[in-house]
Amino acid sequence: MNAVHASRKRLTVLATTALAFLTVLPSAQALTDLGPGALYLDIGAEVEYDSNILTNSEEIDDFIFRAIPTLVYTQDRGLIHLNATAGTSFNEYSDQSDQSGTDIYLGFDLSGMHREPAPAVSFSLSGSFADEATASREIATRIELERISLSGSADFDLSEKTAFRASAGYSDADYKEAVLSDSEDVHARADLLYKYSENLSLRAGYRYREIRYTDRTQESDTVIFGAEGGLTEKVSGSIELGFSDDDMYDGTRFYYSVDLSWAADENTSFTLSGSRDYTPSAIGANAASTDLRLGMSQRFSESLSGTSYVGLGRYERGGSLDRRDTIFDIGLRLSLQVGENASVYANASYEDRDSNSAVSDYGRILMALGGSIRF
């Protein structure tokens, strides 16, 4: 047995053993206390079937076995909340062994609030790093890249009825394939909020954005109007509408962002999410993505829950490599909580992409069985 087959066998045994182990392991405490927080170790395992690992018209399928150890640090210190993770995913492909590899992920989320003395200020800050191989729907194959992102926002109360919000973000995509175009995505935004009621705020804002490629920069200005909070007694979330103008596109583009949740009852809820906005391109082209997704969450019992979704999307890319994709996707996930610290899940999804690029006209089925345990 060669080294590749031996590695595959070891990882298969590890994934199978870990999934079985989750169902019998008792609840665990934190791995250790660190200052005001606690450090946990999450051990995950997953077996996935992918009918189109390269996301192109060849539709090459494979089974993927994953082992996913993750360190998690959490801290709740009064009005300050921190969650930080450092994880690795060991991915072993059954047939396409050249796609096997290791992904690395780092991330954090920090939020807090200051109330006294006035004015009240709330803030959030998050960041992530990933070194991974992933299927690129734009390039229609698997690619290797490093991603870095950092974003933050702060709300300042100006009066009982008004507030000011400042936000900014940065992301970087560094491709290991020399023919692709690295990109940086930078934006800054300012919003004025009016507290229409105790639960609902209206807002108007302006966003400046730059998408920087190797040989050029795309600049855009967006004017946005929206509402957030409790839109009705049972519907909450945010909705935004606006118009964008950029230096690479003739005319304005319609912008929207929606993230709504409706609690039908204590066990059932529905969500509506989506956006239309510019998106960085791996070939440095002017591109925009549009999507809208309807989701449902159902709690069947104290330990068993499920989610499902159906979505429609559109990908548009201008220039000499004009591209128009229409996307339909649907998915289902079931999760079972085992004790206090373990869970298992099963999910399935289907994507149909209708594209004017023949290589990107395809269907894709994903099915997975996995689980995790926290120490």
Type of residue at 119 = P
For residue 6, the model assigns a pLDDT of: 46
For residue 27, the model assigns a pLDDT of: 45
230: Cβ contacts below 8 Å, ≥ 6 apart: 197, 199, 200, 236
Is residue 250 classed as helix, strand or coil in its secondary structure? coil
Q: List per-block mean pLDDT (blocks of 10 residues) for the chain, which spans 375 residues.
A: 46 47 49 76 97 97 97 88 96 96 97 79 96 94 96 94 97 94 97 95 97 92 97 94 87 94 95 96 93 98 97 91 94 95 97 96 98 94
Euclidean distance between CA atoms 60 and 107, whole angstroms: 32
Which segments of 115-216 are extended strands (E)?
121-136, 141-157, 162-175, 183-195, 200-213
pTM: 0.86
Angle at 249 between CA 248 and CA 250, to 5 degrees: 130
For residue 243, the model assigns a pLDDT of: 96
For residue 62, the model assigns a pLDDT of: 97
Instruction: Tell me if 64 sits within 8 A of 89, measured CB to CB.
Output: no
